[in-house]
Structure 1
Amino acid sequence: MEIIADSSNLKISKRPHRKSKLGCKTCKQRKIKVRPNSVLLDQDLNFVDLELIHNFTTAVYMTLSTDPLVRQMWRVSVVRLALKCDYVMRTLLSISALHLAHQRPERKEALVARALLYHRLASREAMGLMSSLDERNAENLFLFSLLTIFFALASGRYLKESAVVWESAFPDWTFLLSGACSLIKLLNARIYDGPLLPIIRYATERFFTARDETSAHPENLENLRKLIGSNCRDENLLDIYNYAIDELRHPLSLALHGGGHRMDIMDMFIWKYFVAEDFLPLLKTPETNQEAVVIYAHFCIVLGKLESQWWLQGWAKHLISQAWALLDESYKPWIQWPMEELGWVPPQ
């Protein structure tokens, strides 16, 4: 589908360029012949894209973090990077378009179509660079990966039946962080000191904040750990499951204490970062990894506490219902606690 932006013609006049012996140095260097009284060609301004940039720098950036420094990074540094990289700019515009569609339902169809088009074009270019990953493009690709996670979350409400988001039992954004992890490691390997440093520092800060939280309900996860330990005979799998449970304990502590008011968007990404390599791939084959589905259902409690963000609304209950549908009857009672926390009742 081709999207044509609203536009307005603007004619810019140029002062007559009078000839001189020396002439214009720039024109001479470029061997350009300039005629007196010449004018620039008419150029169309893409007012929809300008609106999307304005929307991102005045509204969207506030919804991507609660930390002032990270918000400033999204509003200023990220936009500067996007101005130098087409696929980053298109991804940024696609998220802004989805946000505007959320705010302006009467324009939803056109804005969602534009968002999908821009992200498809961005992905085509970015994916071609992933195979030749190096320090020169790691920064832009890392930013693209982060923005794509937000895009996938925000577009889910429009793409529940689409292969763009649903190529497996769980939506693709569940697994997208795996690509970002390798990029983070590459950036950290050279002691990264670039414009995206605020988000890396803040992730470290949230990591320690979660570990300082001691008011969790360990009995719930401890019971889950015992259930899985008595049921799983594969030692390698059991190690993966126990590690995922241990890491989940930290964001879950924040979610359960004080109504989740100390929660931050970053907390859900940190858990996924630590389990991306071994645990998350198990969700692609839920039939043979039922325990993984159960653990992920408990993670939905964390998502539920963050649903004030427009791009995450509805996901917790949707994923718990997905987990319920994927589990055998013998495993369904194992997710009773997250179901109660989310207030979700299975269909009769």
Structure 2
Amino acid sequence: MSSAPPGEGLVIRRRPHYKSRTGCQRCRARRVKCDEQHPSCVNCLKRGVKCDYIQQAADQQTPEHQELALEKPPYLDLEMFHHFCALTAYTLSTETPVRDMWRIHVPQLALGADYIMDGICAFAALHKAHQEPDRRESLLYHATRYHTSSLEKGLPLVSLITPENGSSMYIFSLLTLFFNLARPRRRDDSIMLGSGLLPGPVHLLRGTHLIRESHHALDRSPVALVFQSTERIFSYWKMHTPIEHPALSELHSRIVSLDDKDKERQRILLGAIHTLSRSYTFRDDIYNIEDKFRGYYTWLYEVGEDYLNLLSEANNEAMCILVFFAPLIRDLEAESWWVEGWSFYISEEVYSLLGEDFRPWIAWPIEQIGWVAPVQTEK
């Protein structure tokens, strides 16, 4: 693996960007960058509006997919619902109370909210496709159909959250997040936003956290089990003094050494490293997989919006910091099938965007996860 800039006479074969720059109609009307995710862009998900990509996903089918649609088993809905309750729910937590919430309370909510039922079936179909390679193509197709249906029904309610539907909307947001993490990435997929990089699931996670923070009625609902199990780790994450980590300290020193005249930008970058160091605390073996997961993802919704803005602008230093989050994701991939591959996705995207002078900065994290830099070819 080579993390240094390419030598003379060599050229990096960069990963091409296949998406158009037009974006969905709503983003174009608002003159904002669109990440062009299907079946709904992140901007539309955040605003709780129906993205025109949803209708495209419903209308446009290849001949192969039309054939798969005709082959839908008559009891597929029941099969997916059962699979979620019997198997998928157990992959979402190792703690019995939280597992019970997913396998008992969430299915009960689904009986009164069809967008949750569709979300359950979508996620279960992805899980089953992960387990049964011989049915993979058909299951992935139907997973997308379920997910599209869930978005069509659930998105209009995002701006109408009440104490009565708060639990259902919170679960809807979680299932949408899990689906976007778990869905297989195609060759033309990208986690880039505009000219920069901002993973869609980061927005979804922050949106989910916002629903929880804004609707305290959830604290008295069955889904409060998720909050209660998280509160202890979240409090420790915010209050403890993190131990100095050599790789993060080196990254800190590199940014300081640039002598950036924009002191505000430097403050934002160093702040992002400091908050990331809090999550690095949980790499210690004394923490179980649940605590690691909570300690890691807390960085994604605690890091400042100004840092995310730098990411979306393809700021080199900000993208380097993001790659240092990849080893944390890698720690989780063996235990959580729905985050598999994300450490590589992020590293590949960042490497393709980084200026050559900055590629040595990410040598340590990409070595940690075992990602291999693109093949170098002679001119």
**Bin for the TM-score computed over the shorter chain:** 0.7 to 0.9
Asked if 1:306 is matched to 2:332, the reply is yes
Equivalent pair of 2:218/2:224 in contact (CA under 8 Å): no
| Change beyond 3 A, Cα 1:78–1:239 | farther
Equivalent pair of 1:94/1:114 in contact (CA under 8 Å): yes
198-207 or 108-117, larger mean C-alpha shift: 198-207
CA distance in 1: counterparts of 2:142 and 2:292, whole angstroms = 30
Q: Deviations over 1:170-189 (max 9, x none)?
A: 5422321122122111123x
Equivalent pair of 1:297/1:323 in contact (CA under 8 Å): yes
Asked if 1:119 is matched to 2:143, the reply is no
Q: Deviations over 1:17-55 (max 9, x none)?
A: xxxxxxxxxxxxxxxxxxxxxxxxxxxxxx211111111
Task: Give TM-score scaled by structure 2 length.
Answer: 0.72
Structure 1 unaligned regions, length at least 5 = 8-46
Equivalent pair of 1:73/1:198 in contact (CA under 8 Å): yes
1:315 matched to which residue of 2?
342
Equivalent pair of 2:275/2:299 in contact (CA under 8 Å): yes
Q: Secondary structure at the match of 2:188?
A: coil
Asked if 1:199 is matched to 2:226, the reply is yes
2:302 matched to which residue of 1?
274
**1:65 aligned residue (80, 93, 96):** 93
Letter of the aligned partner of 1:76 in structure 2?
I
Shift of 1:83: 1.4
Equivalent pair of 1:85/1:140 in contact (CA under 8 Å): yes
Equivalent pair of 1:217/1:253 in contact (CA under 8 Å): no
Equivalent pair of 2:344/2:371 in contact (CA under 8 Å): yes
2:156 matched to which residue of 1?
128
Shift of 1:215: 8.3
**1:6 aligned residue (73, 78, 85):** 73
CA distance in 2: counterparts of 1:179 and 1:276, whole angstroms = 14
Q: Deviations over 1:295-334 (max 9, x none)?
A: 1100001001001121122221221121111110121111
81-90 or 338-347, larger mean C-alpha shift: 338-347
| Change beyond 3 A, Cα 1:197–1:340 | same
Q: Secondary structure at the match of 2:227?
A: helix
Q: For residues 208-219 of structure 1, what are the structure 2 equivalents within 5 Å?
A: 208=235, 210=237, 216-219=243-246
Equivalent pair of 1:55/1:96 in contact (CA under 8 Å): yes
Larger Rg: 1
Shift of 1:69: 1.6
Shift of 1:283: 2.2
CA distance in 2: counterparts of 1:119 and 1:52, whole angstroms = 13
2:119 matched to which residue of 1?
91
Letter of the aligned partner of 2:322 in structure 1?
Y
Letter of the aligned partner of 1:90 in structure 2?
D
Structure 2 unaligned regions, length at least 5 = 1-60
334-343 or 290-299, larger mean C-alpha shift: 334-343
Asked if 1:291 is matched to 2:317, the reply is yes
CA distance in 2: counterparts of 1:300 and 1:83, whole angstroms = 38
| Change beyond 3 A, Cα 1:62–1:138 | same
Q: Deviations over 1:159-202 (max 9, x none)?
A: 45247x765545422321122122111123x5721111011112
The one of the two structures with greater contact order (alpha-carbon pairs below 8 A, sep at least 6) is 2
**1:148 aligned residue (176, 201, 207):** 176
Q: How many residues align?
A: 303
Shift of 1:90: 0.7
| Change beyond 3 A, Cα 1:88–1:233 | farther
Equivalent pair of 1:149/1:173 in contact (CA under 8 Å): yes
CA distance in 2: counterparts of 1:66 and 1:77, whole angstroms = 17
Shift of 1:265: 2.9
1:330 matched to which residue of 2?
357
Shift of 1:212: 8.4
Q: Deviations over 1:209-248 (max 9, x none)?
A: 5568888552321222232234343333333323322221
